[in-house]
Amino acid sequence: NAERHALGNIEFRLGVWHRPLNAEPFDMIVSNPPYLREDDPHLSAGDVRFEPRPALVAGRDGLAAIRYIAQHTRPLLRPGAWLLLEHGFDQAVGVKAILHDCGYADIRTYSDYSGNDRVTRANTGAE
């Protein structure tokens, strides 16, 4: 997509979670991590059943990857920087609690076109 839209200000890195970021400071980190629960009925229906489970499932409550990202990327974000996370339609309350517990501020959830809570953003606050 970046190439198709001629975006030159994006850098892609391959690796496991935050490790390829080399502790560099960022103004924003955006993630669409796995967020399905182990027992989510969608895993056995439609096209999703052909996807690799690790790309979809994040523990018993579906929030394991979000917990990890919230904790481990916080030190990589500059003061006043943003973390944006896509999540399941019924996970906004849990995601907000995780972000709050990790010390983020100005936490807000956005809905998709169907009115489902889908993305939550949080700010590191000024230090």
Cα–Cα distance list, 43 to 10, 54, 61 (Å):
32, 12, 14
Q: Look up the pTM and report it.
A: 0.86
Are the C-beta atoms of residues 91 and 40 closer than 8 Å to each other? no
Q: Check residue 49 and give its pLDDT.
A: 83
Helix, strand or coil for residue 69? helix
pLDDT in tens, the chain (127 residues): 889 999 988 888 888 888 888 778 999 999 999 999 999 988 888 788 888 889 899 999 999 999 999 999 999 999 999 999 999 999 999 999 999 999 999 999 999 999 999 999 999 998 6
